[in-house]
Amino acid sequence: LAKTTQPISMDSYEGQEVNITCSHNNIATNDYITWYQQFPSQGPRFIIQGYKTKVTNEVASLFIPADRKSSTLSLPRVSLSDTAVYYCLVGGFSSNTGKLIFGQGTTLQVKP
């Protein structure tokens, strides 16, 4: 299963764009890239998922280069409420069960 590497923590200010990059050098051909967000005392929440190029939804954008060995989650104009832990998951889908394999995640602190 592909291992992911992402920064342990990041700081930002309200209104800024935040980019969190995840490395996954051993990604397999049929692997998706998925990002989850987790607030304290809550379960993780799906943010976005992609396979290649760029995906955008109402919350974030996900940029994936052609070699797929990394991906970048982009959060536009963050607010204090975006302070959370962000998990990058790759190859976390077993062929049978779909179980997710989380790393330590990136703790994003948004300051006023």
Partner 1 sequence: GAGVSQSPRYKVAKRGQDVALRCDPISGHVSLFWYQQALGQGPEFLTYFQNEAQLDKSGLPSDRFFAERPEGSVSTLKIQRTQQEDSAVYLCASSFGLAVADTQYFGPGTRLTVL
Under rule CB under 8 A, which residues in 68-87 are in contact with partner 1? 87
Residue 53 phi, psi dihedral angles, 5° rounding: 60, -125
CA count, 13 A, side-chain hemisphere, 8:
0
Q: Judged by CB under 8 A, which of 9, 19, 25, 104 binds partner 1?
A: 104
- 29 is a contact residue toward partner 1 (CB under 8 A): no
Q: Judged by CB under 8 A, which of 75, 93, 108, 110 binds partner 1?
A: 93
Residue 19 β-bridge partners: 74
- 102 is a contact residue toward partner 1 (CB under 8 A): yes
Residue 9 β-bridge partners: 107
**What distance, in Å, lies between the first and last C-alpha atoms of the chain?**
39
Note the residues at the interface with partner 1 (CB under 8 A): 32, 34, 41-46, 49, 87, 93-105
